[in-house]
Amino acid sequence: METQRQKKIAGVIQKDIVEILQRAALDGGLTGILISVSKVNVTTDLSIAKVYLSIFPNKDAKELMEGIKSNQPLIKHELAQRTKHQLRRVPELLFFLDDSLDYIEKIEKSLKGDENPIVNRDLLDKRKKK
């Protein structure tokens, strides 16, 4: 169960990380790339923040994630500057790629196309009965 404090800190981090990453992408000459923070989870001791990023178009996601992870200390420093009046200590940032949108898109495609598991039952994995 997340406390109000965890939620508040996650909200602050989410808002600022979006701005930091979007600006970094623009400064790096990456136009036409949308980076959004889909979720931030802060641990109960407030020492770690798991930041889930959604990157569009997806073909650049892996490369961008590597860049973001390697620049984690700079991002954390920038976040510390922005949140110094709200947070005493900035949590360690862990970045993850949120691929839930891809997952939803695959489901939609399969439901619209020939690979509809409802129509073609062979596409579904056979479940073992216990």
Q: Do both 91 and 122 map to the same domain?
A: no
For residue 63, the enclosing domain spans: 4-98
- Backbone phi and psi for residue 95, each to the nearest 5 degrees, phi listed first: -105, 135
On whether the CB atoms of residues 21 and 75 are closer than 8 A, the answer is yes
What pLDDT, on the 0 to 100 scale, is given for residue 30? 76
Cis peptide before 57 (omega within 30 of 0): yes
Q: What is the pLDDT of residues 9-54, one digit of tens each?
A: 999 999 999 999 988 888 877 777 888 899 999 999 999 999 999 8
Q: What is the pLDDT of residues 56-105, one digit of tens each?
A: 877 878 888 998 999 999 999 999 999 988 888 899 999 999 877 777 77
Q: What angle do CA 97, 77, 84 make, to 5 degrees?
A: 110
Q: Do both 91 and 27 map to the same domain?
A: yes
Strands 92-97 and 48-56: parallel
Q: Do both 83 and 113 map to the same domain?
A: no
Q: Do both 69 and 122 map to the same domain?
A: no
| Alpha helices by DSSP H, the chain | 4-27, 61-70, 72-82, 100-112
